[in-house]
C-alpha cells in the first residue's frame, strides 16, 4: 500500500528531492512516482563521513535517477573539515552543507522547493531533543519551513511527516524496493541515535503504549497556542510606523506576552541564534532603570531610546 503524502502536497509542481539513498528518502522517491510526480530533481550530497560506503551511496542514487529517468545532482562536501573550521558539531556542519548544496541546485534548476523525507518518528525525536536542550520548548518539525542561505530562500517540505517509520519499512518490503542502509544511524554515539534506540523504546515500555503520537500531539498543541498568542499580539499594534516596539504598550502586557512579543520582534529583525535566554537578556530593556543596550548575535544590538525598542 502506498504511503500517504500530506494533503497539502501537489505532485504537479517542480521539486528538488534531498535523497541520501537510505530507506526514508528512497521511500519518498517511490511514493512521489506512484503519486504521479514527474518534475523531480534528485539531489545527493556525499558527506564523505563513511569512506567507501559514502561513495556507494552516491552511486546508488545515480542508478536510481537513471532508472527512473529523472535529472540528478551529486556533489561532495568535507563535513569533518567544516565542523573543525566553524567549531560546530558534525550534525550542524552537515545541515549547513546540505543547505548550501540545495541552494546551488535551486539556482541551477530554477526551483526553490526541496522535499525532505522526515517522518513522524523523526519529529518525535526532534521534539524531545528541543525540550531537553531547554531552548525551544515543544518545538518540532513542520510540513513547511523556510531557510535563507546567503540571499537565496529555500522552502523545505516534509510530505511524509504524518507517516510512521514502521509504515515506511512495510512499504519498502512489500514493494521489494532496494535502499542503502547506513549503519551509523543505530550507533549510540549521538543524542538523536540514543533517543531512537534507547529512550523512546524505554518510554514506550514504561507507558505500555506507543508514545510517539502523544509527543507529536503535545507539540502540535503547543504550536497552536503559540499561533493564537501571535495572532493576539498582532492585534495589539505594538510596532510603530518606523518598525520599532512601542514601550508604553509593551509595559501594559503581562510578562509572558512581553516575552513573546520580544521574541517575534527579534526574529523579524533577523537576529540569529534566537533562544529563550536571549529574550530574557533583552526583557529588562522594558524598564527605564536598566542599561539601554543589549548585545545580540551577529554583531547586532537591541536598544532602548525615546520609548522605543529597536535592533541596530
| pLDDT exceeds cutoff 90 at 282 | yes
Residues 105 and 242 reside in one and the same domain: no
Same domain assignment for residues 47 and 178? yes
268: in domain: yes
What is the per-residue pLDDT across 52-105, written as a single tens digit (0 to 9) for each?
Answer: 889 999 999 999 999 999 999 999 999 999 999 999 888 889 999 999 999 999
pLDDT in tens, 240-279: 999 999 999 999 999 999 999 999 999 889 888 788 889 9
One domain, residues 175 and 76: yes
Question: Which residue carries 558534525 as its cell?
Answer: 90
What average pLDDT does range 27-45 have in this prediction? 96
pLDDT at 192: 86
Where does a domain end: 119, 150, 184? 184
Is residue 85 one of the residues assigned to a domain? yes
Indicate the average pLDDT of the chain.
Answer: 92
Asked whether residue 172 falls in the same domain as residue 259, the answer is no
Share of the chain above pLDDT 90, in %: 77
Does 69 share its domain with 163? yes
157 and 255 share one domain:
no
Judge if 128 and 258 occupy the same domain.
no
26 and 109 in a single domain? The answer is: yes
Amino acid 66: pLDDT: 96
Same domain, 33 and 142: yes
Strands (E), 106-184: 113-115, 144-149, 152-157
* Least confident segment among 36-45, 99-108, 126-135, 287-296: 126-135
Give the number of domains in the chain: 2
Whole domain around residue 40: which residue ranges? 15-184
Whether 65 is covered by a domain: the verdict is: yes
The CATH number of the domain holding residue 280 is 3.30.465
Cell numbers at residue 289, please?
Answer: 532603570
Q: Quick one: average pLDDT of 195-210?
A: 94
Same domain, 163 and 252: no
Residue 262 forms part of a structural domain: yes
Q: Which three cell numbers stand for residue 211?
A: 508514545
pLDDT at position 49 is 86
Give the domain CATH number at 134. 3.40.50.620
The answer as to whether 7 is a domain residue is: no
Label the pairing between strands 308-311 and 245-246.
antiparallel
**95 and 31 part of one domain:** yes
Phi, psi at 22, each rounded to 5°: -80, 175
Check whether residue 166 and residue 20 sit in a common domain. yes
Residue 292 covered by a domain: yes
Residue 256 lies in a domain: yes
Q: How many CA atoms lie within 13 A of 93 on its CB side?
A: 18
pLDDT at residue number 183: 63
pLDDT given for residue 135 in this prediction: 61
* Cβ neighbours of residue 95 closer than 8 Å, sequence gap 6 or more: none
Segment 215-222 shows an average pLDDT of 94
pTM: 0.86
pLDDT interval class at 301 (50, 70, 90): very high
Amino acid at each position: 500500500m502506498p504511503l500517504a503524502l500530506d494533503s497539502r502536497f501537489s505532485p504537479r509542481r517542480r521539486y528538488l528531492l534531498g535523497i541520501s539513498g537510505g530507506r526514508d528518502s528512497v521511500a519518498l522517491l517511490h511514493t512521489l512516482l506512484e503519486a504521479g510526480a514527474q518534475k523531480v530533481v534528485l539531489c545527493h550530497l556525499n558527506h564523505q563521513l563513511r569512506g567507501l560506503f559514502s561513495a556507494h551511496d552516491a552511486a546508488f542514487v545515480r542508478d536510481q535517477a537513471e532508472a527512473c529517468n529523472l535529472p540528478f545532482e551529486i556533489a561532495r562536501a568535507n563535513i569533518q573539515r567544516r565542523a573543525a573550521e566553524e567549531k560546530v558539531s558534525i550534525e550542524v556542519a552537515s545541515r549547513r552543507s546540505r543547505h548550501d548544496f540545495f541552494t546551488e541546485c535551486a539556482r541551477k534548476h530554477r526551483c526553490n522547493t526541496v522535499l525532505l523525507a522526515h517522518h513522524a518518528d523523526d519529529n518525535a525525536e526532534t521534539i524531545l531533543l528541543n525540550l531537553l536542550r531547554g531552548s525551544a520548548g515543544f518545538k518540532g518539525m513542520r510540513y513547511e519551513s523556510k531557510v535563507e542561505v546567503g540571499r537565496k530562500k529555500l522552502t523545505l517540505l516534509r510530505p511524509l511527516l504524518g507517516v510512521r517509520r514502521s509504515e515506511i519499512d512495510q512499504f519498502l518490503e512489500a514493494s521489494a524496493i532496494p535502499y542503502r542502509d547506513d549503519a551509523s544511524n543505530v550507533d549510540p554515539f549521538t543524542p538523536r541515535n540514543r533517543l531512537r534506540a534507547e529512550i523512546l523504546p524505554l518510554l514506550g515500555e514504561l507507558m505500555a503504549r506507543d508514545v510517539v503520537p502523544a509527543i507529536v500531539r503535545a507539540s502540535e498543541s503547543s504550536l497552536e497556542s503559540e499561533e493564537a498568542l501571535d495572532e493576539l499580539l498582532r492585534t495589539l499594534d505594538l510596532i510603530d510606523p518606523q518598525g520599532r516596539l512601542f514601550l508604553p504598550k509593551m509595559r501594559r502586557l503581562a510578562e509572558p506576552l512581553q516575552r513573546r512579543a520580544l521574541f517575534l520582534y527579534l526574529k523579524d529583525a533577523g537576529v540569529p541564534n534566537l533562544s529563550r535566554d536571549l529574550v530574557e537578556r533583552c526583557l529588562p530593556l522594558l524598564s527605564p532603570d536598566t542599561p539601554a543596550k543589549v548585545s545580540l548575535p551577529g554583531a547586532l544590538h537591541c536598544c532602548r531610546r525615546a520609548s522605543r525598542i529597536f535592533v541596530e
